[in-house]
């Protein structure tokens, strides 16, 4: 198996979101079952492009292929309060409008450069509060999902488990600053 297909194989697990046959889910709705959130297919696509802008594919996969937008939805659906969920949804709509204002296009139709411009403004807090709340939740969960993914933990920043060790005086040299 070459590296690319090996990585692809890992991806199904990376997001750790069950992929159900589409017939189970309502047409035009998100591709994963959600108990509290009402997310459309279009909104899911928007989220996919935002997380891809946050962590893009390079020589290693990006957030969209890793399903981190779906991971965010799963976390939001199960672990956040109703209030946070509502703020997220309102903020997502406001974000979409902001993107349209800035570029004249829907975010998903924007070029990668345009997407980066939109995200750059939100990332530097030049956006309404509700957009920032949405963005902070999405970015936080995307990073959590990324760092805790199989891809990262087994190949990019290896999670060491067994055999274990404890080195109480581990020397930190300049090179060791980067693990």
Contact yes or no for 93/79 (Cβ under 8 A): no
Among 6, 19, 20, 120, contact with another protein (rule: CB under 8 A): 120
The reply to whether 28 sits near another protein by the rule CB under 8 A is no
Rg of the chain over all Cα atoms, to the nearest angstrom: 18
The reply to whether 11 sits near another protein by the rule CB under 8 A is no
Closest CA to 73 of 128, 29, 9, 115: 29
The reply to whether 21 sits near another protein by the rule CB under 8 A is no
Count CB-CB contacts under 10 A for residue 149: 24
The reply to whether 103 sits near another protein by the rule CB under 8 A is no
| Residue 106 C-beta: closest distance to another protein, Å | 20
Q: How far is CA 155 from the centre of its chain?
A: 19
Residues 6+ apart with CB under 8 A from 85: 36, 37, 76, 77
Binding mask 62-91 for another protein (x = CB under 8 A): x-----------xx--xxxx----------
Report the interface residues with another protein, using CB under 8 A. 13-14, 16, 53-56, 58, 62, 74-75, 78-81, 116, 119-120, 123, 139, 143-150, 152-153, 156-157, 159-172, 176-179
């Amino acid at each position: 198996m070459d590296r690319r297909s090996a990585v692809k194989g890992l991806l199904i697990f990376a997001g750790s979101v069950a992929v159900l046959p589409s017939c189970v889910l309502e047409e035009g709705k998100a591709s994963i079952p959600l108990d509290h959130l009402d997310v459309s297919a279009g909104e899911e696509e928007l989220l996919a492009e935002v997380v891809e802008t946050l962590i893009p594919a390079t020589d290693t996969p990006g957030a969209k292929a890793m399903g981190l937008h779906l991971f965010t939805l799963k976390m939001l659906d199960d672990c956040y309060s109703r209030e946070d969920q509502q703020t997220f949804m309102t903020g997502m709509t406001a974000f979409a409008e902001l993107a349209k204002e800035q570029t004249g296009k829907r975010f998903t139709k924007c070029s990668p450069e345009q997407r980066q411009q939109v995200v750059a403004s939100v990332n530097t807090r030049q956006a309404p509060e509700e957009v920032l709340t949405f963005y902070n939740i999405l970015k936080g969960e995307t990073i959590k999902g990324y760092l805790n993914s199989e891809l990262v933990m087994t190949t990019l920043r290896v999670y060491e488990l067994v055999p274990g060790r404890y080195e109480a005086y581990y020397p930190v040299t300049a090179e060791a600053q980067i693990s």
